[in-house]
């Protein structure tokens, strides 16, 4: 078995990760948080022919003292 890397696929994963984190940060700021901790990032491939990539970021918004 031979492994390989796809630059295009890696680029899409990076874009999904950055977008998910940015949206999570914006939501936390709107709620008055100072930071987000315990971040988890997940990816799913969706669509009839697996043509869509979804990235989700979850974390805990915190207020610093």
The band of 49, judged by pLDDT with boundaries at 50, 70 and 90, is: confident
Q: Are 19 and 57 in contact (CB under 8 A)?
A: no
Rounded to an integer, the average pLDDT of 49-59 is: 85
User: How confident is the model at residue 31, as a pLDDT?
Assistant: 95
For the entire predicted model, the pTM comes to 0.74
d(CA 30, CA 37): 16
- What confidence tens digit (pLDDT) does each residue in 1-38 have? 566 778 888 888 888 889 989 999 999 999 999 999 99
The alpha carbon of 41 is separated from its chain's Cα centroid by a whole number of angstroms, namely: 5
d(CA 53, CA 63): 32
């Amino acid at each position: 078995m031979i492994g390989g890397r796809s630059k295009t696929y890696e680029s899409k994963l990076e874009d999904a990760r950055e977008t998910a984190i940015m949206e999570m940060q914006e939501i936390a700021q709107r709620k008055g948080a100072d930071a987000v901790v315990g971040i988890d990032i997940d990816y799913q491939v969706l669509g009839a022919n697996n043509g869509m990539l979804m990235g989700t970021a979850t974390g805990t918004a915190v207020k610093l003292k």
